[in-house]
Amino acid sequence: MDINIFIERRKSLKMSQVKLCKGICTQSTLSKFENNGHVPSLNILNKLCERLGLSVDDLYKNSTDSTSYMRTVLERIEREFMMESYPEVAQSLNEIDVNTINNTTLKMQYYYQKGLFTALTNGKSEEMFFYFSRILDDLDERHQTIYSYIAYVGLGTFYLRINQIKEASFYFEKVAQYIEQNEKELYSKDNVNAYLRILTIVYFTADFYIKVHDYEKGQDMVNRGIRLCSEQHMTYYLPRLKFLAAKIAIGKDRPKEEVDNLLTESSAFAKINRNEVVELRINALRNEYSEKNKKDSQ
């Protein structure tokens, strides 16, 4: 381990030891690490590195370049996920050899992407379970990271697709509880991709509640997602969140004007983000809603 990488990073950010260790450990613990090489617990070291924008593996010189490259690749795939560009996601994931990933966090990122992609594209269930089990039973056994909750989202989505609502609810309730209990911490991240992961679990949890007609919980999740998008000036998820809001309005028999406005907003954000998938869904829902209104008026 090259502790100088850690020290140089802290100094380049003009961050004092006091500021860096606040809420994580004592200054004495940090000082002993920097000056005497006394490595703290992995949990503490992970938190210190995260605050510096590093991973523990970045402290090993030989892995620095490969780790930085792999992080860039996986973050690009996350953005492709947000745009629902699944052919690009498939191609990008197939180009990665997981054995070349030496960083635990990046491995979890890779396995959640493989698992979620498999769940969303009706892939082989045994492969999906394997990918998620690598996170839940190995890399994050204590289920302390958001990657475990993305795994829960994937498992819940799988059970929802085969109409096993009780099993799906088991996983989505875990995710909803995590969001509610950790909102302050979740909403104080410092990079775009961290927020995209939060929006991923918020969106799919909202979608689940809407599909089981629990519109109050669905609306709560949609509101959380829209608020986060607004606060962080992010538009990736706005087309889909507004689309879900329109589905809730339809489910609750809200006025037609309200539904039309939400669909118009969803369409506008979809065009801004060039999300053709959402545009197709909007057109289909408009037609379905129009037919419903015709039947109701007869």
Query: Which tokens hold the place of 13?
Result: 């950010």
First to last CA, the chain: 75
The answer, yes or no, to whether residue 143 has pLDDT greater than 80, is yes
The confidence score (pLDDT) of residue 63 equals 52
Amino acid at 30: L
If you average pLDDT over residues 19-25, what whole number do you get? 93
Query: Which tokens hold the place of 62?
Result: 């030989």
**Residue 137 burial by CB count (10 A; 0-12/13-18/19+): exposed, middle or buried?**
exposed
Average pLDDT of the chain to the nearest whole number = 91
The answer, yes or no, to whether residue 127 has pLDDT greater than 60, is yes
Confidence grade of residue 66 (pLDDT, cut at 50, 70, 90)? low
Whether residue 135 contacts residue 112, with contact meaning beta carbons closer than 8 Å, is answered with yes
Gap between the Cα atoms of 276 and 282, Å rounded: 10
Share of the chain above pLDDT 90, in %: 65
Q: What is the pLDDT of residues 188-222, one digit of tens each?
A: 666 778 888 999 999 999 999 999 999 999 999 99
Residue 261 region by backbone torsions, left for phi larger than 0, else alpha for psi between -120 and 50, else beta? alpha
Gap between the Cα atoms of 274 and 287, Å rounded: 21
Domains and CATH numbers, the chain: 1-59 (1.10.260.40), 66-202 (1.25.40), 235-298 (no CATH)
Query: Which tokens hold the place of 229?
Result: 């998008």
Query: Which tokens hold the place of 130?
Result: 């394997």
Gap between the Cα atoms of 136 and 156, Å rounded: 14
Share of the chain above pLDDT 70, in %: 95
The pTM for the full model equals 0.77
